[in-house]
Amino acid sequence: MASSIVGVMLVGCTIDTSVVVPPMPGATTPSSEAVSSPDVESIMSLINQRRALSFLDDLQAVADAHDGNRAAGTDGAAASRDLVAETLKDAGLKVTREPFVSSNGFAGENLFAEIPGTSDDVVLLGAHLDSVTMGPGLNDNASGVGTLVETALIEAQRDSARSATVRFAFWDAEEIGILGSSAYVEQLPAEEKEGITAYVNYDMTATLDGYVGIIDSDLSSIDEQPEEIRDLLSEMYSGADVASDSTRVEQALWDFYRAANLDGFELRSEIMTLANSDTLPFLADGTVPYSGIGMLGADQEVDDDGTILFAACYHQACDTRANIDEDAYLTSIGSALHVIDTLAD
């Protein structure tokens, strides 16, 4: 998850970083009625827990072999991308790499894997692959990457095709400006963009002592914030053009996490991190319905530089394999499987 020193004001697709946003509580109610009835036990039984947890060990090993990080533009990032690509290719998935050059001149590469459906619709799930330079980024965001890799491996074993193509995106360079997902959204032809019926983002899915933040896709939780924060958020998102049907994407996540009843984790409608992760380009574009998961620390602090520390060891060398809540991580995989069940069939 990208650092937040200041907030983001959306005016069309321009970003004004003049609005300072403090840590804030989230609303605890979703925006609409249930759209699904997940069988959590059956969904969770599909997960190969040893394999899913071992993949986190593998990403830790990549960081250990590359100066302790997997930051964008480094050999550690390239090795992380190769690991994901080979893991998914070995399972029979179609894997593609899409180089890009951002507006600031950064040359990166997004990675995609997909399982074809029987229609032209696409359900897109994404997680950023890079860490910061200060640490290995196991919670932020090897956890999101691992969530999608295990989900893809399970989906690859299905006997019959779903209606929608399921596409998994592993974004480059989120930590240095949300560059990979922004390049994708900007370059995607309008007709292909309109064919994406949902985007679901996974960023920090294994936070210790945290809460489950479900991205507030229609910004409805603004009205439930304290007055001083409500006014600031209203200004911050004043130019947002929310895609139709985004609440259905969000609600599928609420349905699963409510049924899963993850011990010790409160559910909150999350609006702060909407502008600090790969949901931002989709919000700014306004075409693709979206939501996502970002598990944040229950007690967030602000450091001396004004950076919000979203979770334990956030953007630090201690964001290692030991910084992972395994139950939360495995539950996030279940949520991704449920989202696909709900939105891709």
Structure tokens at 248: 């259905």
Q: Calculate the dihedral angle through the C-alpha atoms of 199, 233, 307, 72, rounding to the nearest 10 degrees.
A: 20
The band of 133, judged by pLDDT with boundaries at 50, 70 and 90, is very high
Beta strands per DSSP E along 218-300 = 267-270, 290-297
Q: Are 87 and 156 in contact (CB under 8 A)?
A: no
**Dihedrals phi, psi of 240, to nearest 5 degrees:** -70, 140
Q: What is the pLDDT of residues 210-247, one digit of tens each?
A: 999 999 988 888 887 777 678 877 887 877 777 778 89
Read off the tokens for 275: 């502008």
pLDDT digits (tens, 9 = 90+) for 159-198: 889 999 999 999 999 999 999 999 999 999 999 999 999 9
Residue 22's pLDDT band, with cuts at 50, 70 and 90, is very low
Phi, psi of 258 (to 5 degrees): -65, -45
Cα gap 294→2, rounded to integer Å: 12
Convert the pLDDT of each residue in 258-315 to its tens digit: 999 988 899 988 886 777 899 999 999 999 999 999 988 877 677 666 667 778 899 9
Q: What pLDDT, on the 0 to 100 scale, is given for residue 32?
A: 58
| Contact (CB, 8 A) for 334 and 47 | yes
Give the separation between CA 54 and CA 50, rounded to whole angstroms. 6
Helix (H) or strand (E) holding 210: strand 210-215
Q: Is 301 exposed, middle or buried (CB count within 10 Å of its CB: 0-12, 13-18, 19+)?
A: exposed
pLDDT at 91 over 90: yes
What's the predicted TM-score (pTM) here?
0.91
Q: Do 97 and 109 touch, CB atoms closer than 8 A?
A: yes
Count Cβ atoms below 10 Å from residue 107 Cβ, excluding itself.
12
> Looking at residue 269, what is its pLDDT?
87
**Structure-token match 């395994």, residue found:** 326
Mean pLDDT, the chain, as a whole number?
Answer: 88
